[in-house]
Amino acid sequence: MHRTTDGWGSGLLGVIIFSGSLPATRAAVGDFSPLFLTSARAAIAALLGAALLIVFRQVRPARVDLGSLTVVALGVVVGFPLLTALALQHITSAHSIVFIGLLPLATAIFGVLRGGERPKPVFWLFSGLGSATVAGFALFNSGAGSLVGDLLMVAAVMVCGLGYAEGATLSRKLGGWQVISWALLLSLPMMATLALVTMPGSWNGIGGPAWLGLAYVSIFSMLVGFVFWYRGLALGGIAGVGQLQLLQPFFGFALAGLLLHEPVAWTMLAATGFVVLCVAGAKRFA
């Protein structure tokens, strides 16, 4: 019980940190190209992760783990950041949150396929209700979308769900922060090269919000958040703890309204209350 409680607590902290990712990305792509933002955030986080691995003298992962680390890197280091950055050139961060509401369900499905978990049938009812509530609420309140942006967000959700499940499974063996650190380090050569190739021709036109966005997604979204998130998934269960992501859109809506002055409906409180009930139900039957 203590182990499960710790897992849910760590997972919630990870979700709160991730909630700032889309608003921060939206701010950053105002002055940075999606390719530079994706590669720069990964390269910066990889250097920080490498420092942690050295300081704490971590043993290199076994060769058999490299395949899983590659899946994690492609899913959460490259795929999700790049696809969302591209999508946010076509849609608002508020509209993108529509699709984040589907991420818990995608994570649970991959948790079954890759993590070997078997939630009870009632779990899928609560997960489906929660996902439908978040997606419906976000779609109703986010304004018009874009077909290109929507398709990019669907792809982002799929690769992210796979990366979450794969990383959580591997975290049981290597540890949460070690998994994301090794995955970042594995992608560093490619990401550093891409960052150098795509860097802005001049830094003079880069505004403060873009720099703050880059800093946030590099330090918190790409590294610190995963320290808590993978620990939570490993301790509390991929399918169950993954349902905490249902709360992420509402945190994201609040940040989008406060930081980007995007419209947020008052009905958020009612929808949030219902989603909390769905999360509690999913937790019980996971």
pLDDT, tens digit, 9 for 90 and up, residues 42-63: 999 999 999 999 999 999 999 9
| Residue 56 within any structural domain of the chain | yes
Q: What is the mean pLDDT of the chain?
A: 86
Q: Which helix (H) or strand (E) holds 242?
A: helix 238-242
Question: Are 223 and 49 contacting, i.e. CB atoms less than 8 angstroms apart?
Answer: yes
| Residue 145 within any structural domain of the chain | yes
* DSSP output for 56-102: TTPPPPPGGGHHHHHHHIIIIIIIHHHHHHHHTTTS-HHHHHHHHTT
Tally of residues, the chain:
286
- Express each pLDDT in 1-18 by its tens digit: 566 788 899 999 999 999
How far from 124 is each of 16, 48, 109, 278, 283, CA to CA, in Å? 23, 38, 10, 10, 11
Most confident of 85-94, 130-139, 151-160: 151-160
Residue 266 has what pLDDT? 63
What is the CA 48 to chain-centroid distance, rounded?
A: 18
Torsion, CA 69, CA 72, CA 75, CA 76, rounded to 10: -130
Report, as an integer, the average pLDDT of 271-285.
74
| Residue 111 within any structural domain of the chain | yes
| Residue 277 within any structural domain of the chain | yes
- pLDDT > 70 in the chain, percent: 90
What's the number of domains the chain is made of? Answer: 1
| Residue 205 within any structural domain of the chain | no
Q: The whole model's pTM is what?
A: 0.85
Lowest mean pLDDT among 82-91, 100-109, 263-272, 275-284: 263-272
Question: Are 29 and 96 contacting, i.e. CB atoms less than 8 angstroms apart?
Answer: no
Place of tokens 């880059």: 214
| Residue 172 within any structural domain of the chain | yes
| Residue 217 within any structural domain of the chain | no
Which of the two residues, 259 and 234, has the higher pLDDT score?
234
| Residue 276 within any structural domain of the chain | yes
Is residue 219 over pLDDT 70? yes
- Express each pLDDT in 69-120 by its tens digit: 999 999 999 999 999 888 888 887 767 777 777 788 888 889 888 877 888 8
State the pLDDT confidence band at 182, using cuts at 50, 70 and 90. very high
Residue 15 has what pLDDT? 92
Token pair listed for 23: 């608003």
Structural domain for 126, as ranges: 2-199+228-285
State the pLDDT confidence band at 142, using cuts at 50, 70 and 90. low
